[in-house]
Structure 1
Amino acid sequence: MVTMSTHPEQWTRWVEKACTALDLDPADVDIDLVHELSKNVSHEVTRPLAPVSSYLLGIAVGRRLERGEPVDAAAQREIADRVPLTD
């Protein structure tokens, strides 16, 4: 299994570059959480929806920020935990 501990420097560098390009704070990106969510959706739902789940998480985080709600690690996990894996 590929985890953050497998390639931490490469993943972190890429996220930092992507965040710079998108004017985002890399500290707001929980790589492990996004990876866990997409892995779970890939295995429990279907692989093509894994990237869609990450996109949906991003929209949910953005909406919370728009409402002025805090979006710390716990809030991001709460959002991800609400993603249905079965019918």
Structure 2
Amino acid sequence: MSENHLPPEALDHWADALREHFDLSAEDVPISLILNLAKDVANGVARPAAPFSAFVAGLVAGRRGGSPEDIRSAVADVAKLAGEWQG
């Protein structure tokens, strides 16, 4: 397996490292929610838009207060836009 194609558990280890380093809870870093957002944007807009859109969702969530509900709401807003995207 190349360095660019890690096993799925590598994501869990990376998430654990980020949570520990930045003192975050699992609720602060909803992996499946973010991955689903990336999938929705990649399919509805364009693949390169996925990481950028995830960043924007995080920025918006932070500006709204950064709570788990703020995260879910921002992700839902971005996913809705992607679903409606006519490009």
Are the equivalent residues in 1 in contact too, given 2:64–2:70 (CA < 8 A)? no
How do 1:1-87 residues align onto structure 2 when only pairs under 5 Å count?
7=8, 9-21=9-21, 23-27=22-26, 28-65=28-65, 71-72=67-68, 74-83=69-78, 84-85=81-82, 86-87=85-86
Ranked by relative contact order (alpha carbons within 8 Å, sequence separation 6 or more), the top structure is: 2
What SS does the aligned partner of 1:47 have? coil
**Structure with greater helix share of residues:** 2
Per-residue CA deviation, residues 53-75 of structure 1 (Å, 9 max, x unaligned), is 1101110121122xxxx622x43
Q: Kindly state the Cα deviation for residue 10 of structure 1 after the two structures are TM-superposed.
A: 2.8
Identity of aligned residues (%): 29
Q: Structure 1 length normalisation: TM-score? A: 0.71
What are the ranges of 5 or more consecutive residues in structure 2 without an aligned counterpart?
Answer: 1-6
Q: Structure 2 length normalisation: TM-score? A: 0.71
Q: Distance in 1 between matches of 2:23 and 2:55?
A: 15
Paired residues, number: 75
Q: Kindly state the Cα deviation for residue 12 of structure 1 after the two structures are TM-superposed.
A: 1.9
What are the ranges of 5 or more consecutive residues in structure 1 without an aligned counterpart?
Answer: 1-5
Q: Distance in 1 between matches of 2:61 and 2:70?
A: 8
